[in-house]
Amino acid sequence: MDCLFCKIAAKKISSEIIYEDEWVTAFLDVNPLTEGHTLIVPKKHAENILDLDDNAIGPVFAAVKKVTAMLEKSLHPRGFTIGINHGKISGQSIDHLHIHVIPRYTSDGGGSLHSVVHFPPTASLKETKNKILNA
């Protein structure tokens, strides 16, 4: 087992776990963007969302909801940015699916998900829809 997040989920590497159930481990990010920045990882290795077993999707996202509620109750942020970096090009640095729950605070200097990339398509929405549906 060379995967860092598998080792954390198996408690072979210590971390600041704030939530755990049979499906996931949620722990504070060691390089937090804000107070309470948490990573939620499935206990069963999946490199990305497409590799995650269908029966795990519901429990993983239920945990995202639970952790978000815990952070809201305890840290009182003004909002959250919740996201997944899927693949190296998007910034995924550990090849194990992890969902970031990032509390947002007034004047935190962050942006919305719309600020992540700016590469508008040249194809129309209809052309894009047809490409997706016909693949």
Per-residue pLDDT tens digits for 56-96: 999 999 999 999 999 999 999 999 999 999 999 999 999 99
Cα dihedral sign for 103, 105, 109, 114?
Answer: positive
- Sketch the domain layout of the chain as residue ranges: 4-133
For the domain made up of 4-133, the CATH class stated in words is alpha beta
Distance CA 10, CA 114 (A): 35
Average pLDDT, the chain: 96
Mean pLDDT along residues 26-55: 97
Q: What pLDDT score was predicted for residue 1?
A: 65
| Cβ atoms < 10 Å from Cβ of 50 | 8
Catalytic machinery residues: 98
Question: Mind listing the pLDDT tens digit for each residue in 88-126?
Answer: 999 999 999 999 999 999 999 999 988 989 999 999 999
Q: What pLDDT score was predicted for residue 15?
A: 97
Expressed in percent and rounded to 5, the helix, strand and coil fractions of the chain are: 30, 20, 50
> pTM for the full model?
0.94
Q: How many helices and strands in the chain, by DSSP H and E?
A: 3, 5
